[in-house]
Structure 1
Amino acid sequence: MRHEQPVKTLGADLRALRKARGMKLQDLADTLGRSVGWVSQVERDMSEPSINDLRDMARALDVSVSSLFRVNAAPDEEGLIVRAGARRPIGSRAAGLVEELLSPDLSDDFEVVHSSFAVGAVLEQFVERPTQEVGYIVRGKLDVTIADKTFTLSKGDSFRVKGQPFRWANPYSETCEAVWVIAPPVY
C-alpha cells in the first residue's frame, strides 16, 4: 500500500521559518505592514505573495529571497527527494560560505544543510542560537571554536554544538565541505 505524502509548499516553509524565529503571526504581519489574515492565508497557500512581498518576507525572516524558491521536483519525488542540481541556496551570507538545503523543505523538526567553506573563509564573530547542531566534515579541514575551545576537524570528523557560541575558519589550502543537521530549523 502506497501512502501519499503531502506536498510541502512555500506557505509551509514560511510558517516554519517564522516559528523558528519565535515570531507570532502578528509579529510578521506588523513587520510587513499586512494583516494577520493575509499572512495566515499565505502560510496556508490560499494567497500567493508577489515578488515584492517575498522580498519583504525574506528580509523579515533573515533569509535570502532565493531560498524561498524551489526547483520543481518530479511529481513522485516532491517532498521526498532533493537532486544535486535542485538544492535551494540558504544561509548566513558569511563571506566564503555557500549553504544549500539538503532537506526537501523547512517543515521538519530539523534541517540538513550542505556547507562549502572557501579557502580563507572566516566567521569572525561568535554565533549563538537555541539549536542543537551536528556537523560532519565531508572534505577538507575546518577549525571550529565552540565556547572557548578550538578544534581542527578533518574529513570524517564530526562535532556537536548545543546552544553554545561557536565560530569557524578555513585557513587551509582546500575548500572544506560539511553536512550539518540543525534542530530546530533556523533558515
Structure 2
Amino acid sequence: MTGSTPGEDIAAGRAATQLGERLRSLRKKKVLTITQLSLYTGLSVGFLSNMENGISSPTVANLTKVCNALNVSILDVLGEGDALHEIVRDGEAEIIDVPESSMKMKIVDFGANHRAFSVITIEPHARRVDAVAMHPYDEAVYVMRGELAVTIEERRFELSRGDSLFIQANCGHTIENDGTDVSESIWFAVR
C-alpha cells in the first residue's frame, strides 16, 4: 500500500504519460534515436523506453541527465506549453519528492515562455545526493527560511533567511542544508 488514493494514482499515471510524451517529442525534435540518448545519458534503452511510454517515472537525477542530453531545462519538460496561466492554485503545482536527499521541489509554471519558479524545501542536515545541477539558463535563489549552502563549481556560498544568490547558466551547482531547521528557498529561472 502506497498511502495514496486511487485518484492520486490515476493522476500520477497521467503525469508520467504526459512527461514521457514530452520527452519523446523533444528527443525526436533533436533527431536522436533512443539508443543515442542512452549513450549520452548512461541510462538503458529499456528504462528510457519505459519512461517515454509512461510506465516508469524518472528520478530528478535521471531527468536531469535526459534534459542535459537534450539541451533543455527541466522546466521545459515539466511545463505545459505556451498557454499563460494567470493563477496556479496550491494543488496544481508539480511536486517532486526526492526522499534520498530529504528534499521536495514545488514547481509553479505559468506557461507562456516558461515563466516559472520552484520552491525547494530541504530537511536539516540534508544534501542533494544526485547529479550536480546544471541548466542552460541563469537562476536566482532567495532563501525564505533557514539556511542554504550552494556550491557553484568550487565556490561555496552559505546563505541565510533573506539572502539571494545569482547562478550563471551552465555552471554546475549543488545545494545542501547544514542547519538545524528546515530550509525553504525560491528559485527563479532568469531568461
TM > 0.5: yes
Q: How far, CA to CA, are the matches of 1:166 and 1:92 in structure 2? A: 17
Structure 1 portions without partners, runs of 5+ = 1-9, 33-50, 71-77
| 1:135 lines up with 2:141 in the alignment | yes
Normalising to structure 1: TM-score of the pair?
A: 0.57
SS in 1 for 2:54: helix
Q: How far, CA to CA, are the matches of 1:148 and 1:179 in structure 2? A: 23
The 1:123/1:26 distance shift into structure 2, 3 A limit, reads closer
| 1:81 lines up with 2:87 in the alignment | yes
Corresponding residue for residue 96 of structure 1: 102
Q: How far, CA to CA, are the matches of 2:96 and 2:123 in structure 1? A: 16
Q: How far, CA to CA, are the matches of 1:26 and 1:155 in structure 2? A: 41
Deviation (angstroms), 1:127: 2.7
Superposition RMSD in Å: 4.0
SS in 2 for 1:54: coil
Instruction: Please identify which structure carries the higher helix content.
Output: 2
The aligned amino acid for 2:34 is T
Aligned counterpart in structure 1 of residue 161 of structure 2, from 139, 155, 163 = 155
| Length, aligned pairs only | 140
Greater Rg over alpha carbons, structure? 1
The aligned amino acid for 1:31 is I
Q: How far, CA to CA, are the matches of 2:98 and 2:136 in structure 1? A: 16
| 1:116 lines up with 2:117 in the alignment | no
Higher relative contact order (CA 8 A, sep 6+): 1
Tell me the percent identity. 20
Whether the 8 Å contact between 2:150 and 2:174 is mirrored in structure 1 is yes
The CA deviation string for residues 16-62 of structure 1, in whole angstroms up to 9 with x for no partner, is x649x97343657x439xxxxxxxxxxxxxxxxxx983336x54x82
Q: How far, CA to CA, are the matches of 1:93 and 1:18 in structure 2? A: 23
Q: How far, CA to CA, are the matches of 1:91 and 1:180 in structure 2? A: 16
Structure 2 portions without partners, runs of 5+ = 1-14, 36-50, 65-76
Whether the 8 Å contact between 1:82 and 1:104 is mirrored in structure 2 is yes
